[in-house]
């Protein structure tokens, strides 16, 4: 009789037993089949679609076989990136291990849907690029291993959101920058960031880990590593010399300061004395320099009312040595150039020694009556404000000489002198008077000199034609 209720209870539970045995994670199974068909892999992974996914290699389901909670495929020859809409649909997955394969980036962003994930193992693959963004959203993650890949860039500060993290392995990558202050609550018990390109000071929240956890980062300092060097370190004392007592150090510094002050004062005084000596020498040299004021070539008699031609007006220098020159080249440069038809044989130095009398002033210069030592009398025209090259000046002088030779009523040009600062014209002197005196009366004396300005051939050179017309030729000129 006692076995009868037990038999009755077995018949009641039998349908539920068969229902439990036939349970299958259909959606997860299809996601796994899509993953395996889209990524190259070795023949070691043989999933039979006709049997339950919970019986496949590397797959573990929950107690009701309604969902996949663990997927472990280490070293099965997976190659290439993870396909999208495959593993990211395993919403109940708690452990994902794809270590020791040849999986590469990019990592699909839909892995952020694995909100129940607690352990993620992606070490020993070919991942690259920055730190995976989806990781910082997996707040239930307790174990993370991204070691031995080619990740680069900074380690994100968002790792501080993973408050349940106990193990973090990021070694053998190319991470750079500074370490964030993770492990604020001290929950991380195993940590390794060795062999990266990190720099800066190790946060105090990570200083309890051994130096091997930070090895291979040449720019890291502090914590278990040697202390960080300040920007301006104080010089270390020499190990060979004993450290002097504090009183001796203070006395030495005081003596050094006094010596430095004395040196500065002495140097300043010497510099001032040297400056004064140089100034005095310059003033003395300037005082003893010869006066370069233009000197007259010859002094005319006061009773005659004549004056000398200033040297500055007749040459390029007030010094006779500068005028005559100290070499053949200088003499060639300072000589008079005589035109055809002239009968004179004097030189520039003879002209400079001649007595002079102002005949008149025009817009282009002043005319002088010059009487040389041997008695020859000529008219010298000193041009002013004439800027022209030597070749052009010589050409115009030749033209002006031709005009005087061809026209009997135009006074002929006999010689000229050219230099950069001075330009002189030499004409015959006619003692019988000028055209101005005959036209308007001899109000200024018997030898008024009339100057007409002539601009030749459109050049910017305006010269003077002096009309000294003999009295006996005036009737033919006018009548």
Alpha carbon 277 to chain centroid, angstroms:
43
Dihedral in degrees, nearest 10, Cα atoms 201, 206, 208, 214: -60
> 324-363: buried (b, 16+ CB within 10 Å) or exposed (e) per residue?
beeeeeeeeebebebbeebebebebebbbbbbbbebbebe
Q: What angle do CA 296, 301, 304 make, to 5 degrees?
A: 120
* All residues at 6 or more sequence positions from 418 whose CB lies less than 8 Å from its CB, including other chains: 337, 390, 393, 394
Alpha carbon 404 to chain centroid, angstroms:
66
Residue-wise pLDDT tens digits, 175-203: 999 999 898 888 999 999 999 999 999 99
Q: Which of 120, 141, 131, 126 minimizes the C-alpha distance to 39?
A: 126
pLDDT of residue 363: 77
The β-bridge relationship of strands 450-455 and 462-467 is antiparallel
Q: CA-to-CA distance for 393 and 275, rounded, in angstroms?
A: 49
* All residues at 6 or more sequence positions from 166 whose CB lies less than 8 Å from its CB, including other chains: 142, 143, 187, 188, 189, 190
Whole-model pTM: value is 0.47
> Does residue 183 contact residue 162 with C-beta atoms inside 8 Å?
no
* All residues at 6 or more sequence positions from 443 whose CB lies less than 8 Å from its CB, including other chains: 437
pLDDT < 70 regions, the chain: 1-22, 230-256, 288-334, 341-343, 408-409, 432-479
206 burial type by CB count under 10 A (0-12 exposed, 13-18 middle, 19+ buried): buried
pLDDT of residue 341: 64
pLDDT of residue 263: 86
pLDDT of residue 119: 96
pLDDT of residue 436: 61
Peptide bond into 106 cis (omega under 30): yes
Q: CA-to-CA distance for 67 and 49, rounded, in angstroms?
A: 16
């Amino acid at each position: 009789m006692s076995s009868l209720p037990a038999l009755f209870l077995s018949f009641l539970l039998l349908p539920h037993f068969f229902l439990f045995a036939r349970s299958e994670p259909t959606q997860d199974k299809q996601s796994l089949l899509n993953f395996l068909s889209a990524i190259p892999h070795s023949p070691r992974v043989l999933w039979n679609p006709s049997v339950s996914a919970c019986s496949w290699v590397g797959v573990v389901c929950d107690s009701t076989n309604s969902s996949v909670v663990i997927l472990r495929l280490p070293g099965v020859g997976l190659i290439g990136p993870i396909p999208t809409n495959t593993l990211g649909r395993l919403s109940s997955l708690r452990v994902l291990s794809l270590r020791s394969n040849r999986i590469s980036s990019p990592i699909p962003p839909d892995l952020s849907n694995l909100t129940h994930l607690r352990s993620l193992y992606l070490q020993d693959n070919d991942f690259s690029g920055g730190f995976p963004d989806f990781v910082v959203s997996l707040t239930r993650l307790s174990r993370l291993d991204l070691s031995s890949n080619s990740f680069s860039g900074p380690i994100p500060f968002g790792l501080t959101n993973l408050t349940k993290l106990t193990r973090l392995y990021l070694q053998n990558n190319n991470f750079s920058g500074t370490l964030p202050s993770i492990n604020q609550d001290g929950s991380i018990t195993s940590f390794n960031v060795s062999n990266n390109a990190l720099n800066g000071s190790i946060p105090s929240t990570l200083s309890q880990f051994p130096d091997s956890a930070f090895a291979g980062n040449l720019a890291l300092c502090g914590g278990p590593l040697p202390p960080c060097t300040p920007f301006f370190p104080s010089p270390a004392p020499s190990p060979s010399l004993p450290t002097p007592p504090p009183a001796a150090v203070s006395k030495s510094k005081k003596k050094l300061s006094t010596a430095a002050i004395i040196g500065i004062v002495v140097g300043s005084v010497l510099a001032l004395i040297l400056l004064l000596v140089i100034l005095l020498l310059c003033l003395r040299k300037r005082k003893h320099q010869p006066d370069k004021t233009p000197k007259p070539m010859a002094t005319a008699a006061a009773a005659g009312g004549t004056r000398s031609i200033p040297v500055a007006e007749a040459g390029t220098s007030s010094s006779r040595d500068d005028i005559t020159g100290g070499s053949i080249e200088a003499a060639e440069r300072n000589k008079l150039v005589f035109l055809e038809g002239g009968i004179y044989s004097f030189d520039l130095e003879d002209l400079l020694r001649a007595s002079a009398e102002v005949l008149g002033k025009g817009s282009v210069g002043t005319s002088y009556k010059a009487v040389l030592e041997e008695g020859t009398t000529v008219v010298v025209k000193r041009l002013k404000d004439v800027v022209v090259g030597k070749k052009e000046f010589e050409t115009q002088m030749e033209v002006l000489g031709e005009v005087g030779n061809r026209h009997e009523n135009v006074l002929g040009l006999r010689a000229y002198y050219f230099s950069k600062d001075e330009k002189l014209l030499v004409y015959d002197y006619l003692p019988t008077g000028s055209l101005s005196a005959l036209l308007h009366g001899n109000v200024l004396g018997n030898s008024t000199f009339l100057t007409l300005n002539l601009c030749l051939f459109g050049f910017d050179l305006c010269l003077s034609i002096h009309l000294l017309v003999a009295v006996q030729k005036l009737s033919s000129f006018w009548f």
